[in-house]
Amino acid sequence: MLLATDRWRERLIVGFLFAVAFGLPWLMPSRALFVAETASVALFALSLDLVLGYAGIVSLGHAAFFGVGAYAAGLFAKLVMPDPLTGLAVGIAVAALMGLACSLTILRGSDLTRIMVTLALSLLLYELANRFDAITGGADGLQGMAMGPLLGRFEFDLQGQVPATYALAVLFLALLLVQWVVRSPLGATLLAVRDNPLRAAAVGIPVASRLAFAYAFGAALAGAAGALVAQTSGFVSLEVFSIERSADVLLMLVIGGAGWVYGGVLGAVAFKVLNELVAGITPQYWTFWMGLFLLAIGLLGRERVLRPWALWQRPSTKAVR
Amino acid sequence: MGSLAAPFDKGSAVSAPVLRTERLEKRFGGIVATDSVSLSIAPGARHALIGPNGAGKTTLVNLLTGVLPVSAGAVYLDEVDITRLPVHRRVARGMVRTFQISQLFRSLSPRETLALIVGQQRGLGRRWWGSLAREASVIERADQLLEQFRLASVRDVRTDQLAYGKRRLLEIAIALACEPRVLLLDEPVAGVPAGEREEILQTLAALPAQVSILLIEHDMELVFGFSRFITVLVNGSVLAEGEPAAIAADPRVKAVYLGSGAGHTP
């Protein structure tokens, strides 16, 4: 995987899937907002994949950075200027700085302490956003942000075609960047830290700085996802910091498979599509079916749920990616 | 000890030791795990550290490599005080260890593992673009190590699926990939089945002569076959030091090892 050189087939498949995704808002305009939202959430899942899948940092509070990005971009649009790309950059920068500062809390300790610390961080931010309602709008949410046109030309339409294209483009670039990084020599050292921090240090890899880098990078991408959601929906609520959001993104990553660049993105798409389908049939009880689906994945394994015919074949010796 | 050890002592006084500790001490609460240990490893040494269970051998390795902070005393590498340096900085200065229980990167193959370490060693560790696969000299060195440690046949197998003996070999290959000047081998053959033992002994014997080696081992056959100088650690402090013949004849050492090591007197 690390030393593979031939990737044309992978590029072809990813290129094709993104071409379909970019076409969707224009072919099915009624689904454009759904595409925008899914792309933003997929970016969020990608960011967690980097943190959990590549650096091995278990986080149950990843929404902290998503929320910070969302509020930063929202407040920037409302108070400073409405340009979306500048707002996105602000969201990314604020979340990245926040991630770098908070990386101090995850350098030591076991998975359990990390779960606790990350969860605590998102709870703290939730209450802060609630308390300082003069700035954030508190429980009413941040309202009154007017988005300017993208690149000075393309207005955000209510139907969501421009927002969807914008979100997809950001997701695509982020995916390229993450892929670029995780396959580099630096990315290799991240895998080493994830697999065995004790040994990683013993071969000369500065473990703490690698963890801080991964955490800040993941936070930056989560901030970008939050900024996208704020900009494409024109609204930020306290919910961006909620435990549900952190838990959902973790589920998406579990569905798609952590430690694989496409895991988060595919998991997010599967999660959102399933959500949409089931909610269309039974709006009240969709979480029941979601739970059943997750149980099946947990007990049977992803491979056998997504490819049931494999159940009747001889057990695959290939590791589930 | 006495006369037999004397020529060596003179030699080490002339050429400065590569690694030296000065009254090294480690306390865990009230327990003294390492008690005023002053150790000296000569350049190119084949130095063994032996002692009964609980003598503090692994603690000493952890102090030398920086995994544990010392309570008192100092560690010098090339006469530079490294007592407070973090683990990875000591590795960069050439002090490398292996682990008693293999510590591998379970999801990576031996080839990926060695390529990433060689890359790190050559200063690529912070490069966030490109791929190790395109670094011809890195791949070449990794393949060379695979060959040298008889891992070529399993080079693309995930390490968590390797046979135990192969894992031990990879453990040593990893250390050598770090270009060590001082190599601390923590029980390299512990738990290795007889069939795979010979392979490891041969690779140990073939380690580069210029690398100074400190071997921590229970296996007396390996210790007396491999080392040219032995330090005996008991209850955290040095009981005896000297050449293998002198150590084997030392009545205090015999008393400590009665029943376990006495049979291996050469």
**To which H or E segment does residue B13 belong?**
helix B2-14
- Is the Cβ–Cβ distance between B90 and B107 less than 8 Å? no
Q: How many angstroms separate the CA of residue A128 from the nearest CA in chain B?
A: 36
**To which H or E segment does residue B234 belong?**
strand B229-234
Which residues from A are below 8 Å from B127, CB to CB?
A: 184-186
Contact A206 B86 (CB under 8 A): yes
Contact A3 B107 (CB under 8 A): no
| Cα distance between residue B101 and residue B189, in whole Å | 10
DSSP codes joined into one string, A8-38: HHHHHHHHHHHHHHHHHHHHSGGGHHHHHHH
Residues of chain B with pLDDT under 70: 1-14, 258-266
| Cα distance between residue B133 and residue B120, in whole Å | 14
In this structure, how many other beta carbons lie within 10 angstroms of the beta carbon of residue A218? 29
- Is the Cβ–Cβ distance between A304 and A310 less than 8 Å? yes
Answer left, alpha or beta for residue A4, where phi above 0 means left and psi between -120 and 50 means alpha: beta
What number of residues does chain B have? Answer: 266
Q: Using CA atoms of B161, B163, B166, B167 in order, give the dihedral in degrees to the nearest 10.
A: 60
Which residues from B are below 8 Å from A192, CB to CB?
A: 105, 108, 113, 116-117
ipTM confidence score: 0.84
Say yes or no: B119 contacts chain A, CB-CB below 8 A: yes
Structural domain spans, chain A: 8-281
Contact A205 B125 (CB under 8 A): yes
Average pLDDT, chain A: 86
Summarised one tens digit per residue, pLDDT across range A70-92 is: 999 999 988 888 888 999 999 99
Check pLDDT > 90 for residue A312.
no
Partner residue facing B91 (CB), from A3, A5, A203: A203
- Is the Cβ–Cβ distance between A184 and B131 less than 8 Å? yes
pLDDT at A317: 46
pLDDT at A1: 64
Residue B105: closest C-alpha in chain A: A195
Which residues from B are below 8 Å from A198, CB to CB?
A: 67, 99, 103
Partner residue facing A201 (CB), from B87, B128, B158: B87
* Residue of higher predicted confidence among B2 and A130: A130
The label of the residue with tokens 């091995």 reads A56
Which residues from A are below 8 Å from B87, CB to CB?
A: 201-202
Pick the closest to residue A265 from A65, A19, A40, A23 (CA basis).
Answer: A40
- Is the Cβ–Cβ distance between B231 and B213 less than 8 Å? no
pLDDT at B164: 87
Q: Which of residues 183-202 of A touch B (CB under 8 A)?
A: 183-189, 191-192, 195-196, 198-202
Say yes or no: B208 contacts chain A, CB-CB below 8 A: no
Contact A202 B91 (CB under 8 A): yes
- Is the Cβ–Cβ distance between A198 and B66 less than 8 Å? no
| Cα distance between residue B238 and residue B243, in whole Å | 14
Summarised one tens digit per residue, pLDDT across range A54-69 is: 999 998 999 999 999 9
The label of the residue with tokens 């490893």 reads B41
- Please check whether the domain covering A8-281 is classified as CATH 1.10.3470: yes
Which residues from A are below 8 Å from B93, CB to CB?
A: none
Which alpha helices (H) appear in B45-123, and where do they start and end? 57-65, 87-92, 110-121
- Is the Cβ–Cβ distance between A171 and A257 less than 8 Å? no
Residue B149 corresponds to which tokens in the numbers above?
Answer: 């440690």
pLDDT at A311: 56
Which alpha helices (H) appear in chain A, and where do they start and end? 8-27, 32-48, 63-75, 84-102, 111-131, 133-136, 161-182, 185-195, 197-202, 207-233, 243-256, 261-281, 286-300, 302-306
Pick the closest to residue B66 from B182, B217, B191 (CA basis).
Answer: B182
Give Cα separations from B13 to B5, B23, B229 (angstroms). 13, 18, 15
| Cα distance between residue B132 and residue A184, in whole Å | 7
Residues facing B215 on adjacent strands: B48, B185
- Is the Cβ–Cβ distance between A55 and A214 less than 8 Å? yes
- Is the Cβ–Cβ distance between A256 and A50 less than 8 Å? no
Q: How confident is the model at residue A189 (pLDDT cuts 50, 70, 90)?
A: very high
- The one-letter amino acid at B6: A
Q: Which of B82, B85, B88 to mutate to test the interface with A (most CBs of A within 10 A)?
A: B88
Contact A184 B99 (CB under 8 A): no
The SS3 call for residue A256 is: helix
pLDDT at A200: 93
Summarised one tens digit per residue, pLDDT across range A23-62 is: 888 888 888 889 999 999 999 999 999 999 999 999 899 9
Which residues from A are below 8 Å from B107, CB to CB?
A: 191, 195, 259
- Is the Cβ–Cβ distance between B119 and B135 less than 8 Å? yes
Q: How many angstroms separate the CA of residue B124 from the nearest CA in chain A?
A: 6
Partner residue facing B129 (CB), from A2, A180, A206: A180
Phi, psi (deg, nearest 5) at residue A86: -65, -40
Q: Which of B61, B131, B162 to mutate to test the interface with A (most CBs of A within 10 A)?
A: B131
| Cα distance between residue A259 and residue A56, in whole Å | 9
pLDDT above 70 covers what percent of chain A? 93
Partner residue facing B121 (CB), from A5, A187, A204: A204
Contact A184 B103 (CB under 8 A): no
Q: How confident is the model at residue A99 (pLDDT cuts 50, 70, 90)?
A: very high
Contact A206 B177 (CB under 8 A): no
The SS3 call for residue B44 is: coil
Partner residue facing A204 (CB), from B111, B112, B178: B178
The label of the residue with tokens 């000369």 reads A204
Q: Which CATH number fits domain B2-8+42-105+164-251: 3.20.20.370, 3.30.420.40, 3.40.50.300, 3.40.50.720?
A: 3.40.50.300
pLDDT at A27: 86
Structural domain spans, chain B: 2-8+42-105+164-251
Phi, psi (deg, nearest 5) at residue B166: -65, -35
Give Cα separations from A245 to A59, A60, B33, B248 (angstroms). 12, 9, 48, 67
Q: Using CA atoms of A293, A298, A300, A301 in order, give the dihedral in degrees to the nearest 10.
A: 110
pLDDT at A308: 61
Q: Which of A52, A108, A203, A207 to mutate to test the interface with B (most CBs of B within 10 A)?
A: A203
| Cα distance between residue A207 and residue B88, in whole Å | 8
In this structure, how many other beta carbons lie within 10 angstroms of the beta carbon of residue B121? 18
Say yes or no: A122 contacts chain B, CB-CB below 8 A: no
Q: How many angstroms separate the CA of residue A320 from the nearest CA in chain B?
A: 12
CA A248 to chain centre: 10
pLDDT at A23: 81
Q: How confident is the model at residue A257 (pLDDT cuts 50, 70, 90)?
A: confident
pLDDT at B13: 46
Which residues from A are below 8 Å from B106, CB to CB?
A: 195-196
Say yes or no: B87 contacts chain A, CB-CB below 8 A: yes
**Helix, strand, coil share (%) of chain B residues, nearest 5:** 40, 20, 35
Summarised one tens digit per residue, pLDDT across range A213-236 is: 999 999 999 999 999 999 988 888
| Cα distance between residue A294 and residue A225, in whole Å | 24
Contact A189 B108 (CB under 8 A): no
| Cα distance between residue A264 and residue A118, in whole Å | 19
Which residues from A are below 8 Å from B168, CB to CB?
A: none
